[in-house]
Amino acid sequence: MLDSCEGTLPMRLQLSKAWPVITMGTLFLLAGAAQAGPIDSSSSGLDQAQGCGDAPCAFDVIYGLDASAPVTGSVDITGSTLDFTINLASATLSGSDGAVSSITFSDVTYSGSFAITLDGSGGATITDQIATIAGTVTPDIGGASVFSAINVNTTGLCTGVDTASPTCGLVFGGPTSDFSADVNGNTRYFRHTVDVSVVPEPGTALLLGLGLGALASTRRR
């Protein structure tokens, strides 16, 4: 009976030492199962934008973005699927387009759910996916145009997809896009580059904190 107890004690000690490591691993797996959360508006925004006379928006560039504009919304990366809703309150593009010298995008929503290609090291590529963009374009001479584009070609890159705070750069618009609007009687095509960073959800941050606490406990032992 004594031998049995003596054999059990070292096993219990080993399990007590191993338990924080097991717990930490489980918590990190739970925290990393999905990278979802609100967009950090302080480090996210519409950073590039062009308005063009040609559909690819590559040759006849008429308008350019005056200044970066913050965005809000949410991003969810689960496995190899990216879901997002990005909201832009307002952004102005200036140029020379007959009587029009600037246009303002307002109440714009970018949304989509599509596949991303993971590179195995925390990065991901987005190639020729389809997003939806809706909002209003208003020339400085008046005449607002409400648009809803449902087949917007989207490309981009994401980093940190295996962390709680991924970042993505998304380019909306391209040769097969219908991202266009009427501007003073003329069809103008657009390309927007939106960069977003995710703020970890409180639950995810708590799981990571518990995992780090378990690791510290193991080291003290």
Per domain, the residue ranges of the chain are 2-30+205-220, 40-198
Residue 221: what pLDDT?
A: 57
Residue 75 near residue 64 (C-beta atoms within 8 A): no
Lowest-pLDDT range of 2-11, 12-21, 74-83: 12-21
Q: Which residue has tokens 């606490």?
A: 213
Mean of pLDDT values over 79-96 = 97
Residue 202: what pLDDT?
A: 66
Residue 177: what pLDDT?
A: 63
pLDDT of residue 17 exceeding 80, the answer is no
pLDDT of residue 116 exceeding 50, the answer is yes
Q: How far apart are CA 161 and CA 27, in angstroms?
A: 17
What are the E-state strand segments in 53-201?
61-65, 69-78, 81-97, 100-115, 117-118, 123-139, 145-159, 167-172, 180-183, 186-197
Residue 89: what pLDDT?
A: 98
Residue 100: what pLDDT?
A: 98
pLDDT of residue 217 exceeding 60, the answer is no
Confidence class of residue 192 from pLDDT cuts 50, 70 and 90? very high
pLDDT of residue 50 exceeding 90, the answer is yes
Q: Which of the two residues, 170 and 202, has the higher pLDDT score?
A: 170
Q: How far apart are CA 16 and CA 177, in angstroms?
A: 59
Which amino acid is present at 29? L
Q: Could you tell me which residues are beta bridge partners of residue 71?
A: 88
Q: Could you tell me which residues are beta bridge partners of residue 37?
A: 75
Residue 215: what pLDDT?
A: 46
Strand bridging mode 167-172 / 69-78: unpaired
pLDDT of residue 203 exceeding 60, the answer is no
Q: Which of the two residues, 140 and 19, has the higher pLDDT score?
A: 140
